[in-house]
Chain A
Amino acid sequence: LAKTTQPISMDSYEGQEVNITCSHNNIATNDYITWYQQFPSQGPRFIIQGYKTKVTNEVASLFIPADRKSSTLSLPRVSLSDTAVYYCLVGFNSGNTPLVFGKGTRLSVIA
C-alpha cells in the first residue's frame, strides 16, 4: 500500500479556504485517493475520492496532478464545525487490501 504523508495539524479562521496536501510518491496505477473526516467520538466519514484531475462534491474538492504523487483536499469557507481530523488514504478499494489509516491532519477552525 502506498505510504502517505500529510501535515500533523493546521489552523484556520472561519470563512477561509483550507487546503490540505497529502504526498504519496509510490502510488500504484490502480490506486484511488480517498479522504475521510473524523469528529471527536465519531467514526471516520467518507468525504471524497478521486483517481486523477479534479473531483468536486457538496463538501470538498480534490485536486490531483497528472503524476498523482500528491493530492490536495480543499475545503471552501470553513466553519467551526469543520474542526476535525482529516485522513488521506491511497489504495485500491479491494476487500483483500484494507485501507491503512495514518494519524491524519488535525484541523482547528478558529472564530
Chain B
Amino acid sequence: NAGVTQTPKFQVLKTGQSMTLQCAQDMNHNSMYWYRQDPGMGLRLIYYSASEGTTDKGEVPNGYNVSRLNKREFSLRLESAAPSQTSVYFCASSPSTGYGGYTFGSGTRLTVV
C-alpha cells in the first residue's frame, strides 16, 4: 500500500531556479492538496484540487503553480524559487465527500539558498 508518494524527498535550489514537486496517490481519491510547513508551525494550504480537472488557491498560493495531471497525480511548481519558500512540502489526498480523513505523503524538504 503506497498511499501518497512524493518526490523528491530533499532538494536544494538556488534563488531563481525552478522545480516541480511530484505527488501521486493510489487510493482512487478525488481530492488532492499541497501544504507547506515551516519550523514550529502548522500546515498552510497552498493549492488544492477538489476533483480531476479543477484546481483552486489556498491560503498561500503566491509563487506557486499546480497541475492536476490526472486523477492520481498533482504536481506543484516553483517557477522562480525564493529563500522564503524554504519549507517542508506535504501532499495529501482524500475522498471528496463523506467519512474519511486525509492521507499525507512523507514530505519534500526544500531549501532555497
Contacts and interface: CB of A to CB of B under 8 A. Distances in A.
Interface of A: 32, 34, 36, 41-46, 49, 87, 92-96, 98-104
B45 A98 contact: yes
B42 to A, nearest CB: 4
Interface in B27-66: 30-31, 33, 35, 40-45, 48-51, 56, 58-59
A92 to B, nearest CB: 8
A96 to B, nearest CB: 5
B59 to A, nearest CB: 8
Contact of B51 (A49, A87, A95, A102): A95
B64 to A, nearest CB: 15
Interface of B: 4, 30-31, 33, 35, 40-45, 48-51, 56, 58-59, 88, 90, 92, 94-107
A101 B42 CA distance: 6
B45 A100 contact: yes
A87 B42 contact: yes
Nearest to A99: B102
B95 A93 contact: yes
A103 B42 contact: yes
Contact of A45 (B48, B98, B104): B104
28 contacts: A42-B106, A42-B107, A43-B105, A43-B106, A44-B90, A45-B104, A46-B102, A49-B99, A92-B97, A93-B97, A93-B99, A93-B100, A94-B50, A95-B30, A95-B31, A95-B49, A95-B50, A95-B51, A95-B94, A96-B50, A96-B56, A98-B33, A98-B45, A98-B58, A99-B102, A100-B45, A101-B44, A103-B40
B107 A43 contact: yes
A93 B104 contact: no
A102 B42 contact: yes
Given A41-B107, A43-B90, 15 more contacts: A42-B106, A46-B102, A93-B95, A93-B98, A93-B100, A95-B30, A95-B48, A95-B49, A98-B33, A99-B102, A100-B59, A101-B35, A103-B41, A103-B42, A104-B42
